[in-house]
């Protein structure tokens, strides 16, 4: 079994606001991806595709069966792996994941990473409900496992997910192949590296309670509290810290209840006092994302991504699926083919430079140019407001290239 180091990195925070908690008729999704300090996160656009019958798909460690059609996706991902920490698809589905440790043992065997499950769900679903069905189906068939960082020492965990679309959200929490899900139809919700579904279970694995009973974790009588039954009895220090972040995040959402906007979510992601904006030793927030998912299906969803570390000094740039959507080369990391340390055996014995152009510029000079960054971000927010208010109606081709235009302008700021 993989050992868990109480000082190992293990933090992320996901948020969602469903009307009437939102200030506008839209679901608003947000996530900070907290990862090893030097890990580079890239933003990748993958267009919709069709696939031949019987096709196989190589994920980070294992192959799975491919489906006949995959949807277009925008992903924010650690550049060494196939999956993603967070992302959205062309149908307005957003997903973020979190590391979690439970009483169910975590093994070192290679299977699907939680980040692989996230991308697979985005590529194969048209709603949050369909997405969690995709994840639980793949989880049952292939399991989850494998090291989740680019390091010879294995670092393994199970996953929780926050899934959202234009109408609702779901929290999906796993322990090995087992899981529980909670439907969020109104209000605000957050998750932070711990089991948070108690007795309000909307759906669950068919063997969840019988397994808990067989293990002696539950007596079989009375109310079944998933978090209480499956959480570790002795919580390590970092998981106790996650409780504090979870509580702080919930309070920040409650303070803004009824007035939550994309800007409010960006402010929460930038909150350092709570630890939500992480910068601790070898660990920090390496990328962030906020999405506006309007209830009106005729309005486009707007996804803001940083592609750079520390949202307090990064620019949230708007992405909209459209006819001209394409990969922005400045936020794409270099590739190393068969010689990539994740592909050679044994894995991760060497290191490579995965920094993309925007990452390098941001790292070198971002702190000195905060005012220009803020002005650029405000332009993006104003463009989104004008679009959703019907005050700005650019041609679809222009919408699709919006993110690339903002990335190019940010690159010029650092030039």
User: CA-to-CA distance for 314 and 374, rounded, in angstroms?
Assistant: 8
Residues constituting the chain = 415
Is residue 141 within a helix (H) or strand (E), and if so which, with residue range?
helix 128-142
182, 202 contact by CB (below 8 A): yes
User: CA-to-CA distance for 62 and 130, rounded, in angstroms?
Assistant: 23
Q: Is 12 a catalytic residue?
A: yes
**What is the sign of the dihedral through the CA atoms of 265, 271, 274 and 276?**
positive
Q: What is the CA radius of gyration of the chain?
A: 20
106 by DSSP, 3-state: which? coil
Q: ω before 33 within 30° of 0 (cis)?
A: no
Query: What separation in angstroms does the CA of 364 have from each of 308, 312, 315, 349, 387?
Result: 12, 16, 15, 28, 34
108, 145 contact by CB (below 8 A): yes
Q: Which residue has the tokens 């919930």?
A: 250
140, 151 contact by CB (below 8 A): no
- Could you say which of 10, 12, 94, 156 is catalytic? 12
16, 188 contact by CB (below 8 A): yes
User: CA-to-CA distance for 44 and 343, rounded, in angstroms?
Assistant: 20
What positions carry a catalytic annotation? 12
């Amino acid at each position: 079994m993989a050992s868990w180091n109480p000082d190992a990195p293990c933090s992320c925070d996901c948020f969602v606001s469903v009307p009437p908690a939102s200030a506008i008729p839209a679901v608003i999704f947000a996530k900070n991806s907290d990862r090893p300090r030097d890990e580079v996160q890239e933003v990748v656009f993958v267009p919709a595709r069709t696939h031949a019958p019987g096709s196989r798909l190589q994920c980070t460690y294992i192959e799975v069966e491919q489906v006949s059609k995959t949807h277009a996706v925008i992903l924010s991902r650690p550049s060494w792996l196939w999956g993603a920490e967070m992302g959205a698809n062309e149908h307005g589905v957003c997903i973020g994941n979190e590391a979690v440790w439970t009483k169910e043992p975590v093994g070192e065997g290679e299977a699907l990473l939680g980040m692989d499950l996230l991308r697979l769900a985005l590529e194969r679903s048209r709603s949050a409900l369909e997405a969690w069905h995709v994840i639980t189906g793949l989880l049952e068939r292939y399991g989850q496992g494998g090291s989740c960082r680019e390091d010879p020492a294995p670092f393994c965990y199970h996953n929780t997910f926050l899934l959202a679309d234009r109408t609702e959200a779901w929290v999906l929490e796993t322990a090995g192949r087992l899981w529980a899900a909670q439907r969020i139809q109104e209000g605000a919700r957050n998750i932070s590296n711990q089991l948070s579904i108690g007795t309000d279970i909307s759906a669950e694995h068919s063997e969840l309670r019988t397994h808990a009973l067989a293990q002696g974790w539950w007596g079989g009588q009375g109310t079944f509290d998933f978090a209480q039954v499956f959480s570790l009895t002795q919580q390590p220090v970092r998981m106790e810290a996650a409780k504090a972040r979870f509580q702080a995040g919930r309070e920040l959402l409650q303070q803004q209840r009824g007035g939550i906007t994309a800007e409010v979510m960006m402010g929460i992601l930038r909150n350092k006092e709570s630890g939500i904006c992480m910068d601790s030793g070898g660990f920090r927030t390496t990328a962030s994302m906020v999405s506006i998912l309007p209830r009106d299906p005729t309005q486009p969803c707007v996804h803001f991504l940083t592609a750079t570390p520390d949202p307090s000094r990064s620019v949230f740039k708007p992405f909209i699926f459209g006819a001209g959507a394409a990969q922005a080369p400045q936020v794409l990391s270099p590739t190393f083919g068969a010689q990539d340390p994740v592909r050679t055996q044994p894995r991760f014995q060497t290191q490579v430079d995965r920094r993309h152009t925007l990452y390098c510029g941001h790292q070198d000079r971002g702190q000195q140019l905060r005012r220009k960054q803020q002005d650029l971000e405000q332009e993006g927010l104003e463009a989104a407001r004008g679009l959703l208010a019907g005050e700005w109606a650019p041609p679809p081709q222009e919408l699709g290239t919006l993110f690339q235009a903002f990335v190019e302008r940010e690159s010029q700021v650092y030039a």
